[in-house]
Amino acid sequence: MPQETPYTGIFPIVPTPFHDDGSLDLDGQKRVLDCMIDQDVDGLCILANYSEQFLLSDAERETLQTLCMEHVAGRVPVIATCSHFSTQVAAARCKRAQEQGAAMVMMMPPYHGALLKAGDQGVFEHFAALSQAIDIPIMIQDAPLSGTNLSVPLLGRIAKELGNVSYFKIEMPGTAGKLRALIEAAGDHIDGPFDGEEGITLMADLDAGATGTMTSGLACEQIRPIVMDFLAGDRAKAEAQYNRMLPLINFENRQCGLRACKTVMQAGGVIKSDAVRHPLEPLPAPTREALLTMANDLDLIAARWGK
């Protein structure tokens, strides 16, 4: 169902900090949330892929969701990622997120591994069930990880027929073209066309009609102005800032992945460890050194917040 004022701007992914032994760092999680809010974000997204959600147990998910919702305490809207191959489990996750005060849920299409996935009708029925289960908006994440082809006609049908499925995070090859086609097909039913992938194609995606982005928590205060200046009509200023940030965005996207944010936050005193859970591996020392040099040169809040 449409928002009176649709969500726009930057809704970064909240990383999950671990101790060196791989256990959850709950105090560190609170500091991460505070640091990200201090980066002037428009909202936060928890338990997503860049949160290492695929390395968390169900009990840990519940612990983290509860902690995040209670600690944010309404300071900014929170999107809770609730994806699961099982429609029944996904619906239960969505209901729990709504009960705890989430402003929105984000969902990938149902898939498991490389080969278990639903066809178009199964995908539609999955989101129809979720739409009936909750009242808050639903964002569909269209990303290569699922291996599922979410065509523009399918996404358009979902937007038109399922009232609260009104946000779409597109991060596929050719994102700008897909955003443009989706807005043309169902724009009156879409509250939030977003992009992702650390904002690596952000300018093209804004030109195509994106009104928000979902990056990591690495450089929100530096990326948010790109979106807001563009939406205010100052494309030249937005493009200048995008060009300034693009080397870091590219380095994060191509060399570091989800490890970048945690590495910079550890160096900046936000968290004690940048550990990732096995079988993920830590950043190689030369990559880490180059990342931190770039972060310090840009005077990122995450690189100095806890010092």
Return the domain boundaries, the chain: 9-235
pLDDT on residue 234: 98
4: confidence class by pLDDT, cuts 50, 70, 90:
confident
Asked if the model's pLDDT at residue 105 lies above 60, the reply is yes
Q: Which residues pair with 167 in a beta bridge?
A: 139, 192
**Segment 213-232, tens digit of pLDDT:** 999 999 999 999 999 999 99
Alpha helices in the chain (DSSP H): 26-37, 58-72, 87-99, 120-133, 152-161, 175-186, 202-207, 220-231, 235-251, 259-267, 285-297
118: confidence class by pLDDT, cuts 50, 70, 90:
very high
pLDDT on residue 73: 98
pLDDT on residue 114: 87
Q: Which residues pair with 229 in a beta bridge?
A: none
Alpha helices in 49-116 (DSSP H): 58-72, 87-99
Q: How far apart are CA 115 and CA 122, in angstroms?
A: 15
Joined together, the tokens standing for residue 89 give 């489990």
Q: Which is more confidently placed, 3 or 247?
A: 247
pLDDT on residue 160: 98
pLDDT mean across residues, the chain = 97
- Tell me if 139 is assigned to a ligand binding site: no
The DSSP annotation for 98-110 comes to: HHTT-SEEEEPPS
pLDDT on residue 68: 98
What value does the CA radius of gyration of the chain take, rounded to a whole number of Å? 18
Q: Looking at the annotation, which residues are catalytic? A: 169
CATH 3.40.50.300 is the classification of domain 9-235? no
